[in-house]
Each structure stands twice: as C-alpha cells, then as structure tokens.
A and B are shown apart, each in its own frame.
Chain A
Amino acid sequence: MSGSSRRGLFRDLAAAAARVAIPDEKPKEPARAPLLNDAELDRYSRQLLLPEFTEMAQLSLRDASVLVVGAGALGSPVAMYLAGAGVGRLGIADDDTVEVSNLHRQLLHFTPDVGTPKTESAASKLRFLNPEIIVEPYQVRVDEANAPGLVEGQDLVVDCSDSFATRYAVNKACCEAGIDLVEGGVVGWSGLVMTIVPGATACYRCAFPTEPADARSCAEAGVLGPAAGVIASLQALEALKFLTGVQPTLVDEFLSVDLATLDTIRVNVRRRADCPDCGDPC
C-alpha cells in the first residue's frame, strides 16, 4: 500500500468519525404557507388566536352558507357577528321596512334608514363590516311556501324571526331538508336558544308542539335592546361553534334565560316519534 492511499484511508476514517460525533443537520424547508391570505389573517387574528380555533375552522366559515331569518333585534347582531367572523355567504330574509321604533334594539339600522327595507339597510352595513363576504338580501316574509326554497343549499339557518308561524315554517323546512338550525326568541324579560340537528336531535316542534296560548310579541310585551342582544349573541355563538366544530352546541335541550334576574335554566328535550316536523315517517 502506498503512503498516499494510506493517507486517504486515514482521511476517510476521520471523516466517518466526525460524522458520528457531529450528526448531519436535518434538512430544512420553509413551513407551508397558510391557506388564508395576509388580509384574512389580520382580519380574523383575534379568533385565530384561540387555541381551538384552527385555520381549518376559519376556512370552514369561509366556505359556509348561512341564512339569517329576520333582520331585526335578533337578526342584526347575529348577522353582524357572522359577517365579522367571516361566514362566506350570508343570506338575510325579511319583508319589513325600518321604523323609528326599531332602532333601540335593531343594531343594523340607523335613523336615516327609516322607511327603507330592512334587508337593504342590513346588507349595506354588513358589506361595510366585511367586504370579503357575499351578502344576499331576500326581501320576503318567510312562510311555509317559500321556506323550503330559502333554506335549500344552506349549511345552517339561524332563525331570528318574531312569530311562531315563521318559526314553525323554518323548523319544518330545515327538518325536511336536513339543514341545521339555531332557534332563538325573546319577549319581555325572557329568552331562549336551541340548536337543532335534524334527524339527530330534538327539533323546535318537539320542544314546543303548539304555539303558547298566551304568546305575545315584542310590540305587545316590549323588550330592552340588550335583552335581545344577549339572546342574539348566544345564537351567533352557537352558529360559530356549529360551523367550526370547535366547541359542542346546545342540542337536545334549550337554554331559557331570565333577562331580569339573569338566571339561566337548561331544559332537556327529547325527540318525539310523533313530531309532525321531524318524526319518523314510518
């Protein structure tokens, strides 16, 4: 063996020893870029900071279609929170025009809007709030005839209507189409919230088979703006939890809120086999 090849052998051995002593540094590559763009990261940063609220949760909102029935005391905060949170397609259905007596509780409408259709007034504010989303106003009174067409294709419906007739119509349409629904109502000092997964959990009619005989409207019983706001906030919260899956929702029970005392009661509700809206057709 010549001297030069011996030197080569020693060099190779030294290099091998060095590799054992100092392992190769692992290869590096840039982390994959988020699917949300920088403007979205900025706009939604405060909710993305929540540990449970992942990028997938935000993308679920961006891909979601939600119909808000009613652009009044409940519908205003619900639509504002859902628009702000980044629900990609937001429908809002109402046939009323703005009245001055609405303004103390219906946050989407201002004094210059008096006389204009609520959906138009609502849509213009919601587009200012979040230009990244699509807002679709439906200038109709939701009833049994048009509810199926309105709920079709939605991922979720939030019922913010002010009458039992509309509530039952929306509940029936959602049950028949298998579209999830967040119900809410407030009159005087009492409010309630309930989330419905058709075919799996109790529906609104399971909980309330018939309209209460003494049912009163806000026009009769009165309501404070923030009392409606509390219930609307709970509905929006349920909607966001449902759409993202980040927290469980209020199903097979409803939350009854006494807005005078701030007492809350969770009332268990069971699916009824004979429910005309969600019962087993067999």
Chain B
Amino acid sequence: MVHTLDVTALRCPLTWVKTKLALERLQPGETLEVAVSGEAVESVPRSAREAGHAVAVEGSLVRIVRR
C-alpha cells in the first residue's frame, strides 16, 4: 500500500511536521508519496533523509520509504 499526502497548502516547517507524523503511522517499508511545492521541494526530502528514510524525488512528488 502506498500512502499519499498533500502538503502544498502548508508552509515550512509544518510541511515536515505533517509528513513526519504521517510516517510515524506507517509500517517500516511502507511508502508515503508527498506532494510538495515551494521550499518544501528541498526541505521535506532533506528532513526525511536526515531521519534515516529512503527518499526519491520526482519533480513535486517526494517518495519516502519508512525505515
């Protein structure tokens, strides 16, 4: 199951807060696809990598596999 989240209406750091909380509720190995915009295109993947998750970015979509 891939889970989706849209944080395009939010500003930093709430973009990562919402992403972090969504990740907390996934099982390890599950994927979260986050639609991002603005500075979150940079900051959300960076925060996700710092938290130890596997991250792939495709344009405005950040795919995070929960560690």
Query: In chain B between 8 and 55, which residues have their CB closer than 8 angstroms to a CB of chain A?
Result: 13-14, 16-18, 20-22, 24-26, 31-33, 51
Interface residues of A in 184-218 (CB under 8 A from B): none
Closest B residue to A45 by beta carbon equals B17
The number of chain A residues with a CB under 8 A from chain B is 19
Q: Is the CB of B14 within 8 A of A28?
A: no
Cβ–Cβ contact A48 & B17, under 8 A: yes
**By the criterion of a CB under 8 Å from any partner CB, how many residues of chain B are at the interface?**
20
- Say how far A207's CB is from chain B's closest CB, in angstroms: 38
B40 to chain A, nearest CB (A): 14
A28's partner among B4, B18, B26 (CB-CB below 8 A) is: B4
Residues of A within 8 A of B1 (CB): 26-29
Q: Is B5 an interface residue (CB 8 A)?
A: yes
A19 adjacent to chain B (CB < 8 Å): no
Is there a chain B Cβ closer than 8 Å to A51's Cβ? yes
A54 within 8 A of B: yes
Would B13 and A45 count as touching, CB distance under 8 A? yes
| Given A45-B13, A49-B13, A49-B16, A29 and B21 contact (CB-CB distance below 8 Å) | no
For residue B16, which residues in chain A have a CB less than 8 angstroms away from its CB? 49
A45 near B14 with CB under 8 A, answer yes
**Known contacts being A28-B33, A55-B24, is A34 close to B18, with CB within 8 Å?**
yes
Give the interface of B toward A (CB within 8 A).
Answer: 1-5, 13-14, 16-18, 20-22, 24-26, 31-33, 51
Could you name 23 residue pairs across A and B whose Cβ atoms are closer than 8 Å? A26-B1, A26-B2, A27-B1, A27-B2, A28-B1, A29-B1, A29-B3, A29-B4, A30-B4, A31-B4, A31-B22, A36-B21, A41-B17, A42-B14, A45-B13, A46-B13, A48-B17, A48-B20, A49-B16, A49-B17, A54-B21, A55-B24, A56-B24
